[in-house]
Chains A and B, each alone.
Chain A
Amino acid sequence: DQQVKQNSPSLSVQEGRISILNCDYTNSMFDYFLWYKKYPAEGPTFLISISSIKDKNEDGRFTVFLNKSAKHLSLHIVPSQPGDSAVYFCAASEMYSGGGADGLTFGKGTHLIIQP
């Protein structure tokens, strides 16, 4: 049973436009959500996170939105740049509730391609 779902395996966006990556989750105990970015031949790197008490967190060109009632989060990248081409993983945990000893639960990833 997949608790974190990224339904788009790939997404192509023109340079300079907005990229929107989506993620859905089923476990209502998740209270901390993260996005990771992964280039080929490298490990995933932490990008941005949001706790369940917030509905938005912004860091430069990256903004994560959380809709708890819909169990949905999204990552917005504005403006998109060629260096943003990578695989993006959504992850979730029960960080504040004290559960989830196994740490982070990851989605399968979305391959973002920024077209020049």
Chain B
Amino acid sequence: EAQVTQNPRYLITVTGKKLTVTCSQNMNHEYMSWYRQDPGLGLRQIYYSMNVEVTDKGDVPEGYKVSRKEKRNFPLILESPSPNQTSLYFCASSSSRGAEQYFGAGTRLSVL
């Protein structure tokens, strides 16, 4: 079954404690992306990757890092989380940059 898998689904952490949210897709997609969803703000892109070792900033990259060492994986790293990063995060992938994207189920993060 074609899918995008994110882990964990729920995470509560404290300010400053580094964390990683993993994302994996099994569709051999070249394009992957991270979004955050906040009330009244819709989906905002954090980072995207057009292929292995190629990543770039989206609209709200501050406080986040990503890596793309393998085609299937695109982890999101918060080196020093802060309360304003409390949000719902989605990973997505697509066959090309403008095509329909397939989304993971989401990771709800709370930073205390």
User: Which residues on A are within 8 Å of B, measured CB to CB?
Assistant: 9, 32, 34, 41-46, 49, 89, 93-96, 100-104, 106-109
Q: Nearest CB to that of A90 among chain B residues?
A: B42
| B70 shortest CB reach to chain A, Å | 20
Cα distance A92–B101 in the bound complex, in angstroms: 11
A9 to chain B: closest residue by CB: B40
Supply 14 A–B pairs (Cβ within 8 Å), ascending by A.
A9-B40, A43-B4, A46-B100, A93-B98, A100-B98, A101-B48, A102-B59, A102-B97, A103-B31, A103-B33, A103-B45, A108-B41, A108-B42, A109-B42
| SS of B interface (majority) | strand
CB–CB B99/A95 < 8 A: yes
Majority DSSP secondary structure for residues of A touching B? loop
B-side contacts of A102, CB under 8 Å: 45, 48, 56, 58-59, 97
Question: Which chain A residue shows the least CB distance to B90?
Answer: A43
Closest Cβ of chain A to B56, distance in Å, is 7
Chain B residues engaging chain A, CB cutoff 8 angstroms: 4, 31, 33, 35, 40-45, 48, 50, 56, 58-59, 90, 92, 94, 96-106
| A104 to B98 alpha-carbon distance, docked (Å) | 6
Is the beta-carbon distance between B100 and A103 smaller than 8 angstroms?
Answer: no
Q: Give Cα A100 to B4, complex, Å.
A: 23
Chain B positions within 8 Å of A34 at CB level: 100
Residues of A within 8 A of B105 (CB): 41-43
Point out the residues of chain A lying under 8 angstroms from B31, CB to CB: 103
A42 and B9 CA atoms in complex are apart in Å by 10
The CB with the most chain B CB atoms within 10 A, among A34, A100, A108, is that of: A108
**In the complex, are the beta carbons of B43 and A44 less than 8 A apart?**
yes
Cβ–Cβ < 8 Å partners of A104 in chain B: 98, 101
Q: Are B102 and A46 in touch, CB under 8 angstroms?
A: yes
Tell me, rounded to whole Å, the shortest Cβ–Cβ distance linking B9 to chain A: 9
B40, B43, B103: the one contacting A45 at CB < 8 Å is B103
Task: Decide yes or no: A103 and B97 within 8 Å by CB, A89-B42, A89-B43, A109-B42 being known contacts.
Answer: yes
B109 to chain A, nearest CB (A): 14
Residue in contact with A106 in the complex, picked from B4, B42, B50, B102, CB distance below 8 Å = B42
